[in-house]
Structure 1
Amino acid sequence: MTVDERAHTLTQARSADRSWRWWWTLPIYPYGERRTMRTEVVPDTIWTFDQVQGIFHVIVPIRMTVVRLEGGGLFVYAPVAPTAECRQLVAELVLIHGDVKYIVLPTISGLEHKVFVAPFARAFPQAQVWVAPDQWSFPLNLPLSWLGLPRDRTYVLPPDSIHTPFGDCFDYAILDTIDLGPGQFAEVAFWHRQSRTLLLTDSIVSLPIVPPSIVQVAPYSLLFHARERSSDPIVDTYGNRLKGWHRICLFTFYFQPSVLKVRNWRQTWRESLTAPERTRENYFGLYPFDWQSQWQQRFTDLRGDGKLLVAPILQTLILNRAPQSTLAWVDRVAQWDFGQIISCHFDAPVAATPAQFRAAFDFLTPEAPPDLSLPAADVQLLRQIDRQLTWWRIIYPAQK
């Protein structure tokens, strides 16, 4: 076998290891092939497993956290797609620390988290599955067993961790279910006492200035958004990777930030004809974005030196529907003595204190000053969506 043939065989094997045949249950990028990156966060105690997800090359990390239990075995928080590569990376920890004992679904609304729990449970048939209360599905609210979760080993998290078999290692706080009208939102924060680590799903994020490693494994999406127009070539440089990542963060947080103008489709189509390549990967040259000169400063303001952030969509459409119960949950979490946070998206781990965690939710208090890092012009689209959905009575109005 020649060197080229060996390389081709190895590439095919890696592709098979990353294959995800159930991609159609959540048909977003990267579809049928998901890479997994394992990182040791606390030596011999906590590991993160990162994959990516996104739409129109707006890709962000999605993260699973695995914790070694003091009595042996592994605890899994918010599973990702159990590809062969992912299972092998978990199996390497199993050989050293024991079986996967517990799998936790800490949310009721995040489809990108819920969709992987059943296949992950099948991959580790000895594990118990624990889910946040008030699980629901759309368009029909089906029993958990109908959604693929094993009937004989799936349990609902009780109000207090002392009633769970992992209560000696963890405490947790359940955010009271927020009724939005067409759906519900809730999250369960877990505190690992030994490592002083707080595990969160979607409520808190921190933006890294450098693209996460898992995003840079296949940097095309970063380079796609680093361009100014369709005719610009895709050039892989460190500067372009940074530029693309910062723009992706603005997309993710605001959908359409004020520093982004969208060209009309006639102009977009005409410019696509000048693209140096017109392939499916670059959407056949379509690039309707026109970034204004202030976009970089807007990212700097948003990031705020890596401070803890509550995503604007949660601020404008979800948590403001139940500010009192949300703040009660925040106050309970802030009583724990944690020193770092691992969230399911963006940067992790993030050094943080309970006071910093509490301050991120100040927008829910009436006496809080305006958050200058979230300009009104940038959240205008989200506020328009909020007003329209409320007017149509699709979602309940925000509470004072």
Structure 2
Amino acid sequence: MPDATYPPLDALKPVADDVWIVDSGPLRVLGMPLPVRMTVIRLRDGGILLHSPTRYDPDLHADIETMGPIRHLVAPNIAHWTFLQAWQQHCPQALTWAAPNLGKRRPVRRSGLRIDRVLGDAAPPEWAADLAQIVVPGGLGFREVAFFHGASRTLVLTDLVLNLEPAKLGPILGPVLRLAGMTAPAGRPPPYLRLVIKLRRREAARAAARLVALAPRQVIFAHGAWFERDAARTLRTSLGWLGDLGPEAAREGAPA
């Protein structure tokens, strides 16, 4: 079976000034090996934000701390939270921020995960000078909070794009996921998540249009080959299942 991940694993990889990724995994989802990725951002005040933390690794922790203190742990949607508690244990000074509705999930309540703050559509004072954020809604309580690092024009998503590489998935799984639209060069979320998001399609399309309008230089997400070049065009293609993502869609329904 080919390696679905992006070695080296659990190690910092630079993307832009003050932005790094950490590739990890694979996770097993319905028997499928799924690569997973964390984004690390150094804020203007010197503090470090971990977006969608991957599995805890002491050497990785030490490497991150050489760049600044870890002050923020971010669970950006209602699915990406399972590794947070280990990071909380080793970074007791860090605040944990969660997407709307994450704390209502029964597995989260049973786990005893500590949630300090709930993310909204406006960036909090802790990182407003560095990051903008947009909440993409869906049905059944789904929310994903997207982040835009203005200085590097880096857009950070989680599950809104799934861009798996067929060559990393093998001769059976690769074609199946290609048919599902989840593969490179401009992959989409799995069909069930597309259905969930389409339950609030107009609002989700408006949020997606705002993401496209940011014209990011690169787009990072949790699973698969992130968009290193031609990112704005590829993002528009990847999110096209939501419909028109032009300027009019971004403005539709906005407050006067």
Q: Tell me which residue corresponds to 1:138.
A: 106
Within a 5 Å distance, the mapping from 1:376-395 to structure 2 comes to none
Q: Tell me which residue corresponds to 1:149.
A: 113
Q: Tell me which residue corresponds to 1:359.
A: 237
* Counterpart secondary structure, 1:351: coil
- 1:102 and 2:72 equivalent? yes
What is the alpha-carbon distance in structure 1 between the residues aligned to residue 213 and residue 100 of structure 2?
A: 22
Deviations 1:126-147 (A, max 9, x none): 11111111222137x83xxx64
What is the alpha-carbon distance in structure 2 between the residues aligned to residue 350 and residue 40 of structure 1?
A: 13
How many Å apart are 1:55 and its aligned residue? 5.2
* Counterpart secondary structure, 2:63: helix
Deviations 1:22-78 (A, max 9, x none): xxxxxxxxxxxxx94324132562222222111576312011111122321211000
2:60 to 84, 89, 97: 89
Residues 169, 193 of structure 1: 8 Å contact kept: yes
What is the alpha-carbon distance in structure 2 between the residues aligned to residue 200 and residue 37 of structure 1?
A: 19
Check 1:312–1:352 CA distance in 2 against 1; reply closer, same or farther (3 A cut). Answer: farther
What is the alpha-carbon distance in structure 1 between the residues aligned to residue 64 and residue 119 of structure 2?
A: 25
- 1:204 and 2:178 equivalent? no
Check 1:117–1:358 CA distance in 2 against 1; reply closer, same or farther (3 A cut). Answer: same
- 1:60 and 2:34 equivalent? yes
How many Å apart are 1:117 and its aligned residue? 1.5
Residues 131, 147 of structure 2: 8 Å contact kept: yes
* Counterpart secondary structure, 2:213: coil
Within a 5 Å distance, the mapping from 1:167-186 to structure 2 comes to 167-176=128-137, 178-180=138-140, 184-186=141-143
Residues 133, 148 of structure 2: 8 Å contact kept: yes
Residues 174, 189 of structure 1: 8 Å contact kept: yes
Matched residues, percent identical? Answer: 25
User: Which has the larger share of strand?
Assistant: 2
Residues 54, 83 of structure 2: 8 Å contact kept: yes
Check 1:334–1:56 CA distance in 2 against 1; reply closer, same or farther (3 A cut). Answer: closer
What is the alpha-carbon distance in structure 2 between the residues aligned to residue 179 and residue 308 of structure 1?
A: 21
Letter of the 2:118 counterpart: V
After superposition, the CA RMSD in angstroms is 2.8
* Counterpart secondary structure, 1:189: strand
How many pairs align?
235
What is the alpha-carbon distance in structure 1 between the residues aligned to residue 160 and residue 41 of structure 2?
A: 20
Check 1:117–1:102 CA distance in 2 against 1; reply closer, same or farther (3 A cut). Answer: same
Q: Tell me which residue corresponds to 1:45.
A: 18
Deviations 1:138-193 (A, max 9, x none): 37x83xxx643336xx11113311x33011110010113x333xxx2110111111
2:203 to 301, 325, 328: 325
Residues 206, 347 of structure 1: 8 Å contact kept: yes
Within a 5 Å distance, the mapping from 1:199-348 to structure 2 comes to 199-208=156-165, 210-211=167-168, 244=170, 247-252=172-177, 303=183, 306-315=185-194, 317-348=195-226
1:115 to 75, 82, 91: 82
Check 1:330–1:43 CA distance in 2 against 1; reply closer, same or farther (3 A cut). Answer: closer
Residues 136, 145 of structure 2: 8 Å contact kept: yes
Residues 227, 234 of structure 2: 8 Å contact kept: no
- 1:191 and 2:153 equivalent? no
Q: Based on CA coordinates, which of the two structures has the bigger radius of gyration?
A: 1
Check 1:59–1:80 CA distance in 2 against 1; reply closer, same or farther (3 A cut). Answer: same
What is the alpha-carbon distance in structure 2 between the residues aligned to residue 44 and residue 94 of structure 1?
A: 16
In structure 2, list runs of 5 or more residues that go unmatched.
1-7, 245-256
Q: Tell me which residue corresponds to 2:122.
A: 160
Deviations 1:92-132 (A, max 9, x none): 1212x111111111002x1xx22111222122111111111
TM-score (norm 1): 0.53
Q: Tell me which residue corresponds to 1:74.
A: 48
Letter of the 1:358 counterpart: R
TM-score (norm 2): 0.79
**Higher mean Cα deviation, 352-361 or 329-338?**
352-361
Residues 58, 251 of structure 1: 8 Å contact kept: no
